[in-house]
Amino acid sequence: MALFGLFNSKNASGEMSFWSHIDALRGHLFRSVLVVLIIATILFFYPEFLFDKVIFGPLNDNFITYRAFCKLGQMLNIGDDLCFGHYTFKLQSLGLADQFTSQMWIAFLGGVIIGAPYVLFELWRFIKPALKEKEIKASSGFIVSTSFLFIFGVLFSYFIIVPLTVNFLGNYKISDRIENNFTMDSYISTVTTLSLAAGLVFELPVIVYFLSLFGLMSPQFMRKYRKHAIVIILIVAGVITPSPDITSQLLVAFPLYFLYEASIFVSYYAIKKRLASSNN
């Protein structure tokens, strides 16, 4: 396997020992962390934008998602069933340092998300010398596709999954005697966890591509278990959007199903490239 070449004494650049590879890895990690910290530091000094516009954006009545859903409901002639977004609960900061640590944490996550393409670029630079020319060609577009899918997943969660989840949980009551007031940490944790999780889930085509490239996945296998995948997708959509509204769940399930179908074509493409390279 070419990746084991990272620890061989020779590669395309000449003689390199194990510790030389470790030293090279340290350089890539240092530059990656430095870029993330620089972006995080810049974001840290703009808390109004970071929180009022971004993190707390889904709490605004005029958030773009709520307006779009309301128009969708009118187009489908279902009245105001999809018009939501009005919240009466308040967020509370209970710890003395909670707001400061939250600002640091959100700034860091922003640095990770924005800096993800560069981090992937550094990862690619580290792995590239250990790959053969055919493997490099087969893996071309890794940075662009991986970055696009991750950021698209984060945005999908932020504009679709997060508003639906906050709407359901924020307005959920088991008794009128209970007043909904949540901690700031609870809200921020919900937003960031859902967004990052969706970003990772949207990496499915990339994962399938590399599994297929190394013979661990095939389109035949994915087609055979398509029905099982649909059930899992519906379960995931139900967990992500706890609202009993079937429309909300389908809005989440359809993109996930599209990712699965797209991954079948990705697997077919990867296997075709693997067979072509092995015949040459």
For residues 274 and 249, membership in a common domain is answered with yes
Residues 235 and 188 grouped into a single domain: no
Q: Is the pLDDT of residue 126 over 70?
A: yes
What is the C-alpha separation between 229 and 236, in angstroms, rounded?
A: 10
Asked if 125 and 81 sit in the same domain, the reply is yes
Question: Which of 3-12, 64-73, 104-113, 116-125 shows the lowest per-residue confidence on average (mean pLDDT)?
Answer: 3-12
| Stronger pLDDT, 111 or 217, i.e. the higher one | 111
Residue 135 reports pLDDT greater than 70: no
> pLDDT at residue 7 above 50?
no
Cα 17 off chain centre by = 36
- For residue 111, the tally of other CB atoms under 10 A from its CB is 22
Point out which residues pair with 14 in neighbouring strands: 11
**Is residue 101 in a domain?**
yes
What pLDDT, on a 0 to 100 scale, did the predictor assign at position 222? 92
The whole-number average pLDDT for the span 263-267 is 91
Q: Given 202, 237, 256, which residue is the final one in a domain?
A: 202
CA-to-CA distance for 135 and 118, rounded, in angstroms? 21
Same domain, 173 and 257: no
Regarding whether 120 and 103 lie in a shared domain, the answer is yes
Do 176 and 41 reside in the same domain of the chain?
Answer: yes
Q: What is the mean pLDDT of residues 22-47?
A: 92
- pLDDT at 3 exceeding the cut of 60: no
Q: Is residue 7 part of a domain?
A: no
Chain mean pLDDT for the chain: 84
31 shares a domain with 119: yes
Residue 9 lies in a domain: no
Phi, psi of 67, deg, nearest 5: -65, -40
Final residue in a domain of this structure, among 202, 236, 271: 202
The answer to whether position 65 is within a domain reads: yes
pTM above 0.85, yes or no: no
Do residues 208 and 247 both lie within one domain? Answer: yes
Determine the average pLDDT of the residues in 143-157: 91
* Consecutive H or E run containing 83: none
Going by C-alpha positions, the residue among 47, 28, 178, 65 that lies closest to residue 102 is 47
Q: 247 and 177 share a domain?
A: no
Residue 60 and residue 159 in contact, taking contact as beta carbons nearer than 8 Å: no
Query: Is position 260 within any domain?
Result: yes
Domain boundary among 202, 233, 268: 202
Pair 207, 164 in one domain: no
Per-residue model confidence (pLDDT) at position 109: 95
Asked if the structure places residue 25 within a domain, the reply is yes
Q: Which residues form the domain of 142?
A: 15-202
| pLDDT single digits (tens) 91-105 | 999 889 999 999 999
Alpha carbons 195 and 143: distance in angstroms, whole number: 20
Q: What was the pLDDT predicted at 8?
A: 45
- Both 222 and 140 in one domain: the answer is no
Confidence (pLDDT) at 139 = 66
* pLDDT exceeds cutoff 80 at 85: no
pLDDT at 271 over 60: yes
Nearest one of 195, 197, 179, 176 to 187, comparing CA atoms: 195
Residue 2: what pLDDT? 44
Q: Let me know if residue 5 belongs to a domain.
A: no
Q: Select from 70, 93, 65 the least CA-distant residue to 80.
A: 70
Q: Select the more confidently predicted residue: 261 or 17.
A: 261
Name the packing angle between helices 204-213 and 246-279 (round to 10°): 30
Tens-digit pLDDT profile for residues 31-41: 999 999 999 99
Is 99 part of any domain?
yes
Q: Look at residue 175 and tell me whether its pLDDT is greater than 60.
A: yes
**Does residue 142 share a domain with residue 41?**
yes
